[in-house]
Every structure is written in structure tokens, then in C-alpha cells.
Amino acid sequence: MGVHVKTTVNGDEVEFTCAEDEVLLDVLRNRLGLTGAKEGCGTGDCGACSVILDGRLVCSCLVLGAEMQGKKVETIEGMAVGQKLHPLQQHFIDGAALQCGVCTPGFLMAADALLRKNPNPTEEEIRFGLAGNLCRCTGYDKIVRAVQAAAKEMRG
């Protein structure tokens, strides 16, 4: 019983054994000690578990750990490089784009995925790009502004 998986997480080679029906979110949180991705719903509706899989934004509660064999997983824990925060992370802090912060890792992943595809998004493109992530505290105002500010800084 159990599936043995070799994969890459945040640039590190990682090996684990998981149940066939175990979702990636539970693998990250319970086996790899990466609790940045959160379970807000378990059904792919809230985006709090968002990670980037082979360059694509996914809900880790909708993907199986067993599917990770040979793939590249990026989580919130890999966003900062050493002590240097990613511009998105810095702007979220500076722009007060988080209150309770539980949705923040998911939003940062989603915003990162968006800006990789579209470095100069309009306000509407940002809002639709982040529509898969729920926030109950902020009303999204400061989140959108922080993404705009980070995008501007990243365009140089």
C-alpha cells in the first residue's frame, strides 16, 4: 500500500510515500512540513491551498500527491529568496493587503502565476486572475493595489 514519489518542491529534490487517494495539500502539510498552503474548503473553491505545479496555478486539494512524480512544485515557502522577499510579498506588507493573513499564501501564489503570464495586467485582469481566491477580511481593495504596485516594480 502507498505510493512512493520523487519530485521537486521549491527547487529541492524530495521523496515521500503517500496513500493513493491522498491529496497534495495533505502531503505538503502533513508529510513535508510545509503548512503555508491552507485547507479552507477541501473542494477547490477557496484557493487557500494554491500552489504552482509545472508553472501552472492549481488548488493542491484537487491534485493527488501521487501525481507529483517527476513534477515541479512551487509553494509559498519558496517565494522569498533567502532574506529577500519577492516584490509581491513586500507590497502585500507595505500596502496592508492582509488582515488575518490566512488567504495570503494562496493569493501570493495566484498573483505570482498571473504576473508570470501577464506582467502588465489591467485592474480587470488582476481581479479576474485572482477570482479563484477567496478573502473575507479585506474586500480585495488593498490586495489589487499591492499586485499593481508589485507589477509596476517588477516591470522596472
Partner 1 sequence: MSVDSMNPDLVNKKFKIIGTRPPRPDGIDKVTGRARYGADFTMPGQLIGLVLRSPHAHALIEKIDTSKAEKLLGVKAVITSKDLPDLTGGDRGMFDILENCMARKKALYDGHAIAAVAAVDAATARKALKLIDVKYKVLPHVTDVDEALKPDSPVIHSHVFTEGIEPAPTKPSNWNKRAEYGHGDVDAGFREADVVISRSYKTEQTHQGYIEPHSVSASVSPDGMAEMWVCTQGHFVYRNQCATLLGLDANKLRVTASEIGGGFGGKTHVWAEPLALALSRKANRPVKLTMTRDEVFRCTGPTSSTSVDVKIGAKKDGTITAAYAELRYQGGAFPSNWAEFGAMTSWACYDLKNVKSVSKDAIVNRPKCAAYRAPSAPAAAFAIESTVDEVAKAIGMDPIDFRIKNAAKEGTKSSYGPVYGPIGIGPTLEAAKNHPHMKAPLGKNMGRGMACGFWFNFGGQTCVDVNITPDGNVNVAQGTIDVGGARAAIAMAVAEELGVAYENVRSVVADTSSLGHNDMTDGSRGTFSSSMAAVFAARNAITVLRNRAAKIWEIPVDEVEWKDGAAHAKGTHHGNRTPLSLKEIAAQAGNTGGPMAGHAEITADGAGVSFATHIADVETDPETGRSLVKRYTVIQDAGKALHPSYVEGQYQGGAAQGIGWALNEEYVYGKDGRLQNAGFLDYRIPVCSDLPFIDTQILEIANPHHPYGVRGVGETSIVPPLAALAIAVSNATGVRQTHLPMSPPRVLKSLKSK
Nearest-angstrom CA–CA distance, 50 and 61:
8
Name which of 45 and 70 has its Cβ closer to partner 1: 45
Q: Shortest Cβ distance from residue 95 to partner 1 (Å)?
A: 8
Residue 85 identity (one-letter amino acid)? L
Name which of 70 and 101 has its Cβ closer to partner 1: 101
* Alpha helix segments (H runs only) across 38-98: 87-94
Interface residues with partner 1 (CB under 8 A)? 19, 29, 34-43, 45-46, 48, 75-77, 79-80, 85, 89, 92-96, 98-105, 108, 124, 126-128, 130-145
132 Cβ neighbours under 8 A, 6+ residues apart: 47, 50, 57, 59, 110
Q: Shortest Cβ distance from residue 128 to partner 1 (Å)?
A: 5
Name which of 53 and 70 has its Cβ closer to partner 1: 53
Contact 155, 147 (CB under 8 A): no
Q: Shortest Cβ distance from residue 77 to partner 1 (Å)?
A: 5
